[in-house]
Amino acid sequence: MISVVAATCLIGSSAEAMLNAKTDFHAVGDDVTDDTAAITNWIATVILSGQTGWLPVGTYKCTAPVLFLLNSARTTGCTFKGDGVGRSIIDVRAVTNSPQVLLTCTTSPADNDYFKMTDIGMQGSTPGIVFQVGNENFSDPVNEPVLEIQVQNFNTASTAKAVELNYVLNGSFRIVAAVGGNGYALTMNQCCFSTFQGAYSAILGTSIHLTDGFNYGNVFLSPDLENVTNCVVIDGANCVNNTFIGGTWSYTGAGIVATAGGANRIVNPNPNPPSPGTLAGFMGSTVGVLIESPLFAVSTPAVAASGASVTNTTGQRVQVLIWGGTVSSIIANGLGIGVSGGTFIVNPGESLGVNYSSKPTWHWTAIP
What pLDDT score does 12 carry? Answer: 37
Cα 242 from Cα 238, distance rounded (Å): 11
Range 318-341 average pLDDT: 95
The answer to whether the CB of 135 falls within 8 A of the CB of 112 is no
Over the stretch 98-129, which tens digit does the pLDDT of each residue have? Answer: 999 999 999 999 999 999 999 999 999 999 99
- Alpha-helical (H) ranges within the chain are 14-17, 36-49
What pLDDT score does 273 carry? Answer: 73
Residue 66 has pLDDT above 60, yes or no: yes
Residue 9 has pLDDT above 50, yes or no: no
What pLDDT score does 275 carry? Answer: 55
Q: Are strands 309-311 and 270-271 parallel, antiparallel or unpaired?
A: unpaired
What is the SS3 assignment for 16? helix
Q: Is the pTM here over 0.75, yes or no?
A: yes
Q: What H or E segment, with its residue span, contains residue 167?
A: strand 161-169
What pLDDT score does 24 carry? Answer: 97
CA distances from 33 to 13, 63, 121 (A): 31, 10, 18
Residue 7 has pLDDT above 50, yes or no: no
Over the stretch 239-277, which tens digit does the pLDDT of each residue have? Answer: 999 999 999 999 989 999 999 999 999 999 999 876 555
Q: Where do the domains of the chain lie, and which CATH numbers do they carry?
A: 14-292 (2.160.20), 309-366 (no CATH)
Residue 314 has pLDDT above 60, yes or no: yes
- Give the side-chain half-sphere CA count within 13 A for 168: 27
Residue 4 has pLDDT above 60, yes or no: no
Q: Hey, how many other C-beta atoms are within 10 angstroms of the C-beta on 341?
A: 16
What pLDDT score does 231 carry? Answer: 97
CA distances from 234 to 3, 43, 191 (A): 63, 35, 13
The answer to whether the CB of 55 falls within 8 A of the CB of 120 is yes
Structure confidence at residue 75 as a pLDDT band (50, 70, 90): very high
Residue 278 has pLDDT above 80, yes or no: no
Mean pLDDT, all residues of the chain: 93
Structure confidence at residue 181 as a pLDDT band (50, 70, 90): confident
What pLDDT score does 1 carry? Answer: 33
267 strand-pairing partners: 245, 292
- Phi, psi (deg, nearest 5) at residue 49: -85, -25
Residue 13 has pLDDT above 50, yes or no: no
The residue ranking higher by pLDDT, 278 or 9, is: 278
The answer to whether the CB of 218 falls within 8 A of the CB of 197 is no
